[in-house]
Amino acid sequence: MARRRDVNRRQLISASVLIGSSLAIDCAQARSISGKVPWQPDEANKPQIVKPGPNQFFTSDEAEFIDAAISRLIPNDDLGPGAKEADVALFLDRQLAGPFGKASSWYMQGPWSKGTKTQGYQSRRTPAELYHAAIKAIDSYCTGKFGGKKFAALSADQQDQVLKGVESADIKLDGVDGKTFFTVFLQNTIEGFFSDPIYGGNRDMVGWKLVGFPGAHYDYRPYVEKHGQKLDLPPVGIKGRPGWTPS
Amino acid sequence: MAKKLPSIDVVLVGFGWTAAMLGQEFTDAGLKVLAIERGGWRDTSTDFAVTFAQDELRYYWRRALFEEPARETLTFRNDPSQTALPMRHLGSFLPATGVGGAGVHWNGMTWRFLPSDFVAKSHNTQRYGALSADMTIQDWGVTYNELEPYYDKFEYLCGISGKAGNLKGQIQAGGNPFEGPRSREYPNPPMKMVYGPTLFAQAATETGHKPFPGPAANMSRPYTNPLGVQLGPCTYCGFCEKYGCGNYSKASALTTVIPVLLRKKNFELRTECEVLTVNKDSAGKRATGLTYVDAQGEEFEQPAEIVVLCAYATHNPRLLLLSGIGQPYDPKSGQGVVGKNYAYQITSSVDVFFDDKILNPFIGAGALGMVIDDYNGDNFDHSGLGFIGGGYIACWNTNGRPIETHPVPKGTPKWGSKWKAAVKKNYLTTATVATHGAVMSHRNNYYDLDPTYRDVHGRPLLRLTFDFTDNEHKMSNYLTDRAADIAKAMKAREIHAKPREGHYDIVPYQTTHNTGGTIMGADPKSSVVNRYLQSWDLHNLFVMGASVFPQNAGYNPTGTIGALTYWAANAIRTQYLKSPGPLVQA
């Protein structure tokens, strides 16, 4: 049985921070271990596997933006499928609906100050709040600039110009730091393209096939000293690979 | 009101490398030992089994094995004139929470510091004249020769794979000719070498350098350590640093000590319990024990005859500051010692892009690579260079994990079809030559308690004030230029040097090699602990780990942490237990 220790603890910590508690409230049990290694059979802290289905985070308007934008960040082209075809939108939806979106493990107490670049992320917005605000602001910018058209309705060239403007902060968005959003969004898109398919993206391991990464391959000992040889090992994920294990 | 518990012989704060090693030593001496760990129990077969260990998103990018800033973080600023702000998520370094500590997710690069590193101040002053007044380095108070048997003991505990370069003063072909003399060969031979580091080693030799295989806590063959614990041969899967090894092939406290220690009747581990303060008697001469809070929020007072701080290098100094033990350091006056001499490391790299050479970066291990030590420490003449210290230059094949590792040439856009094409073109055919440089201590690089921000228990966060100084930039630029010389000799299509420029930035990952804050030394005016890592203030309080380094060296710290731990354990067992009191007279 999977232990849900981490998730529970994070949820409770967030709750305790919110109510201003001075002590960690924690459902995990403090335990004493002596005289033996506390090993239990059939116990594993397994990863949580994403199931496809309706969006849990993005609204339908937001989903249109995401589909369009990730298609520009990692396009479908003659080298192979891009982020949209790899189901990166599903990956992002589940990440933002979960602990990452809620910044569950981040220090999110004030006071808040912009700080220097070297002091890192100082927005009071969680990633989830940042995505909601930035998508709204980018669509609002596009509607004003391009005769009522939202980002998803623009041509590919226009979309690239908008994304470059947000990335460089040449485009000032209303009430949100576009540059910070772009950094997080690009990083998350690359994560969705290259992470194990159990998280919803990298469908059919297209990201791994693009570069030649064999994935969660266990043993490379036969290949260590095959210097300079292209191995073309078929990639394998945590759930195996098509034709090897049933999905 | 904290509930008072029965007294115990030794209490250890934290349960990573140093606590496990000390637990083993002290229980062997017949003492009753308790370790208190803020995180949970975890083990190879349950928390990073081979069936799901190779998960880049979960373990690195979603930080599954690391400490959670939500509970406790530090605040940071580059200089004392700025307002420090919280490190809201991890970046530049990755401390851990949980049994095994940060040693669970290390790469396994297991070095000895140079003999001259332990006498950095006197050695450099003697050779190059007076140092800048703001460079607050000092000698360690312990020498390489004194530590040698303990380095050896740690390397045999771990089963380090490597090739000796200096056996009892005799230089050995194929090893590091600059290292201090060692009493015997490594317990295991070097790992088999992949292509990129092999090309680096050829180019390094052609350019007059002396390459050797990196010393690795990744097993080159099956190994049974002196405690009878078995490790399996590494399969080169490329998931070491930031990951737990699912294969029992990387030495950590969990794979070398804990399986033996936990079976002992005179050892107890309490998990999900966080130490709040070290308590002292009214005379301020002895530690009486400590106070901790358990996962349900209940506070306990744990009396003990000996208290040892074994938490991560950022937490030991903070615990002393929170407990009011020792005089806090003041950068204006230069007085005080607790928090003094925070140091780090300065890294840079040169990417080497080939057209025709398939390097298969995914065939990797944490310390799999070839290294040169020609520019480390004082292995080269610094006359006229304007800096002291140095670092190693290496070509490692640690991983091909593609979220983290997808090198592209200079000028490539960060996204779009051109980015995608560059990632595809270069993934299999790029090597990286990395530099790993020392950071000397400096008057304005230090810790104190933050006046504003608090942790989940309401205690002040640690405040870190740190920047690279002129010495580090000059040194790192020199190393980067030497790395580029070798990279050019690798005859690739193009190289791309990435020097470390500007202010220290807490965002990009660099190294988890934070040092200082509870430094060791010759007297209580200049150090927190003496040469046996014993507090000058409370004789039954000891501090382990990299927070005792007076300044950093150009190597990964774990080998030296291991040696110092066994050195201190020996002093406690053979001297302190017979006659509890100061081991060095102030």
In a domain, A173, yes or no: yes
Q: What is the structure's pLDDT at A43?
A: 86
Average pLDDT over residues A21-46: 73
**Helix runs in A98-233, H state only:** 127-145, 156-168, 178-194, 206-211
pLDDT band at A122 (very low <50, low <70, confident <90, very high): very high
The residue whose two tokens read 């007059």 is: B208
Q: Residues B401, B404, B408, CA angle at the centre, nearest 5°? A: 105
Average pLDDT over residues B157-170: 98
Average pLDDT over residues B406-411: 97
| B87: chain A residues, CB-CB within 8 Å | 107, 120
pLDDT band at B195 (very low <50, low <70, confident <90, very high): very high
In a domain, A20, yes or no: no
Could you say which architecture CATH assigns to the domain B3-576?
A: 3-Layer(bba) Sandwich (3.50)
**Annotated domain spans of chain B:** 3-576
Average pLDDT along chain B: 98
DSSP 8-state assignment for residue B22:
H
DSSP for B118-146, written as a single string: GGHHHHHHHHH-PPPTTB-----SS-HHH
In a domain, A84, yes or no: yes
Which amino acids of B are annotated catalytic?
A: 513
Token pair recorded at residue A97: 């609906």
B553: pLDDT strictly greater than 80: yes
Q: What is the pLDDT of residues A154-200, one digit of tens each?
A: 999 999 999 999 999 999 999 999 999 999 999 999 999 999 999 99
Q: What is the structure's pLDDT at A246?
A: 52
| A120: chain B residues, CB-CB within 8 Å | 76, 87-89, 91, 505-507
Q: Do A77 and B417 touch (CB under 8 A)?
A: yes
**Tally of CB atoms within 10 A around B44:** 22
Q: Do A118 and B506 touch (CB under 8 A)?
A: yes
Q: Do A224 and B194 touch (CB under 8 A)?
A: yes
Out of A195, A211, A215, the one facing B424 most closely (by C-beta) is A211
A15: pLDDT strictly greater than 70: no
Tally of domains in chain A = 1
Q: What is the structure's pLDDT at B318?
A: 98
In a domain, A174, yes or no: yes
Q: What is the structure's pLDDT at B560?
A: 98
In a domain, A73, yes or no: yes
Q: Is A60 touching B (CB cutoff 8 A)?
A: no
Query: How large is the angle between the packed helices B17-28 and B558-571, nearest 10 degrees?
Result: 30
Gap between the Cα atoms of B447 and A128, Å rounded: 33
Q: What is the structure's pLDDT at A111?
A: 97
Q: Let me know: does A70 contact A58? Beta carbons within 8 Å.
A: no
A18: pLDDT strictly greater than 60: no
* Range in A21-35, B81-95, B111-125, B297-311 with the lowest mean pLDDT: A21-35
Terminal CA-CA length for chain B: 36
Average pLDDT over residues B222-248: 98
Task: Report the candidate in A238, A232, A21 with the shortest Cα–Cα distance to residue B458.
Answer: A21
Q: What is the structure's pLDDT at B136?
A: 98
Q: Do A213 and B503 touch (CB under 8 A)?
A: no
| B357: chain A residues, CB-CB within 8 Å | 228
* Range in A17-31, B233-247, B328-342, B543-557 with the lowest mean pLDDT: A17-31
pLDDT band at B125 (very low <50, low <70, confident <90, very high): very high
Task: Report the candidate in B118, B96, B116 with the shortest Cα–Cα distance to residue B105.
Answer: B96
Residue of B nearest to A2 (CA): B46
CA A137 to chain centre: 21
Q: What is the structure's pLDDT at B232?
A: 98
pLDDT band at A21 (very low <50, low <70, confident <90, very high): very low
Q: Do B420 and A167 touch (CB under 8 A)?
A: no
Average pLDDT over residues B529-546: 98
Q: Hey, what's the torsion of the CAs at A126, A128, A133, A136, to 10 degrees?
A: 170
Gap between the Cα atoms of B540 and B308, Å rounded: 8
Q: What is the pLDDT of residues B459-469, one digit of tens each?
A: 999 999 999 99
pLDDT band at A8 (very low <50, low <70, confident <90, very high): very low
Q: Which residues contact A243 (CB under 8 A, 6 or more apart)?
A: none
Average pLDDT over residues A121-140: 97
CA distance A90 to chain B (A): 15
Out of A105, A118, A163, the one facing B504 most closely (by C-beta) is A118
| A221: chain B residues, CB-CB within 8 Å | 192, 233, 235-236
pLDDT band at A28 (very low <50, low <70, confident <90, very high): low
* Range in A35-44, B31-40, B74-83, B551-560 with the lowest mean pLDDT: A35-44
Q: What is the pLDDT of residues A71-113, one digit of tens each?
A: 999 999 999 999 999 999 999 999 999 999 999 999 999 999 9
Q: What is the pLDDT of residues A43-60, one digit of tens each?
A: 889 999 999 999 999 999
In a domain, A97, yes or no: yes
Q: What is the pLDDT of residues B55-101, one digit of tens each?
A: 999 999 999 999 999 999 999 999 999 999 999 999 999 999 999 99
Domain enclosing residue A96, as ranges: 50-104+120-247
Average pLDDT over residues B561-569: 98
In a domain, A81, yes or no: yes
Average pLDDT over residues B307-317: 98
CA distance B274 to chain A (A): 10
Out of A10, A37, A211, the one facing B262 most closely (by C-beta) is A37
B74-77/B85-86 β-pairing: antiparallel
Q: What is the structure's pLDDT at A5?
A: 41
Gap between the Cα atoms of A30 and A38, Å rounded: 14
Average pLDDT along chain A: 89
Q: Is A12 touching B (CB cutoff 8 A)?
A: no
Q: Which residues contact B411 (CB under 8 A, 6 or more apart)?
A: none
Residue of A nearest to B265 (CA): A35
| A163: chain B residues, CB-CB within 8 Å | 415
Q: Let me know: does B247 contact B219? Beta carbons within 8 Å.
A: no
Task: Report the candidate in B4, B101, B98, B40 with the shortest Cα–Cα distance to residue B295.
Answer: B40
Out of A36, A72, A120, the one facing B263 most closely (by C-beta) is A36
Q: Which residues contact B535 (CB under 8 A, 6 or more apart)?
A: B287, B325, B326, B528, B529, B541, B542, B543
- Amino acid at site B336: G
Average pLDDT over residues B544-552: 98
Q: Do B414 and A75 touch (CB under 8 A)?
A: no
Out of B82, B274, B403, the one facing A191 most closely (by C-beta) is B403
pLDDT band at B586 (very low <50, low <70, confident <90, very high): confident
Q: Is A51 touching B (CB cutoff 8 A)?
A: no
Q: What is the pLDDT of residues B441-484, one digit of tens each?
A: 999 999 999 999 999 999 999 999 999 999 999 999 999 999 99
CA distance B56 to chain A (A): 6
